[in-house]
Amino acid sequence: MNNYDMEDTQNSAPGALPAVQASKLAPRRGPDAQSTTKRLQTELMQLMTSSAPGISAFPSAADNLLAWAATIEGPDDTPYQGLTFKLSFAFPLNYPYAPPTVLFKTPIYHPNVDFSGRICLDILKDKWTAAYNIQTVLLSLQSLLGEPNNASPLNGEAAELWDKDPEEFKRKVLGRHRDVDDE
């Protein structure tokens, strides 16, 4: 992963990349050979200067822009009110032309999240567009907490309880939630 360091890649990328990609990039001139890195740097800058309330995100390690850690706060007037959830973002090398892989690191009881933290959300799959970014993903997840898509649940029991027994649902949410340490 260190091959894709941000600043360093820009001039030394061809040498550091695997052979196949290096040969493809060889004829390229200019500093934007790593458009993914440039894009993620832009997003980082935006999040630092104008972050939306209730969400935050930052690269996990100083030398790797392709892995981020993020948090969202449970929206008011939902069972998740007052809770904070940690998530991980893994960006593919062709980001933004493929979606990031996003997982809940904090255990969460939700119709569209399974017990491994995997999320069922169309914009993270076939409806991903390059016009989305980390911030839009986090805002979408935040609204998913208050408005689950019960038509295609990953957690069938949660989908059922959401409609039938909000009290029990809230109990399950609180029972499952537990703070996790930073990785």
Name the residues annotated as catalytic.
120
Residues 74-93 that bind another protein (CB under 8 A): none
Stretch that binds another protein, among 23-31, 50-58, 151-159, 160-168 (CB under 8 A): 23-31
Interface residue with another protein among 19, 49, 62, 131 (CB under 8 A) is 131
Stretch that binds another protein, among 26-34, 59-67, 110-118, 140-148 (CB under 8 A): 26-34
Interface residue with another protein among 24, 58, 82, 165 (CB under 8 A) is 24
Structure-block tokens of residue 78: 């939902």
Contact at 8 Å (CB) between 37 and 16? Answer: no
Closer to another protein by Cβ: residue 50 or 116: 50
Determine phi and psi for 121, rounding to 5 degrees.
-145, 125
Contact at 8 Å (CB) between 183 and 106? Answer: no
β partners of residue 73: 84
β partners of residue 94: none
Is the CA virtual torsion 142, 143, 146, 150 positive or negative? negative
Contacting residues for 1 by C-beta, under 8 A, at least 6 apart: 64, 66, 67
Interface residue with another protein among 128, 144, 145, 173 (CB under 8 A) is 128
Q: Does 35 bind another protein (CB under 8 A)?
A: yes
Measured between its terminal Cα atoms, the distance across the chain in Å is 17
Q: Does 36 bind another protein (CB under 8 A)?
A: yes
- Name the DSSP letter for residue 99: P
Interface residue with another protein among 15, 18, 19, 27 (CB under 8 A) is 27
Interface residue with another protein among 61, 127, 166, 168 (CB under 8 A) is 127
Query: Residue 10: which H helix or E strand, with range?
Result: helix 6-16
Q: Does 165 bind another protein (CB under 8 A)?
A: no
- Where does this chain bind another protein (CB under 8 A)? 24-25, 27-28, 30, 32-36, 38-39, 42-43, 46, 94, 96-99, 126-131
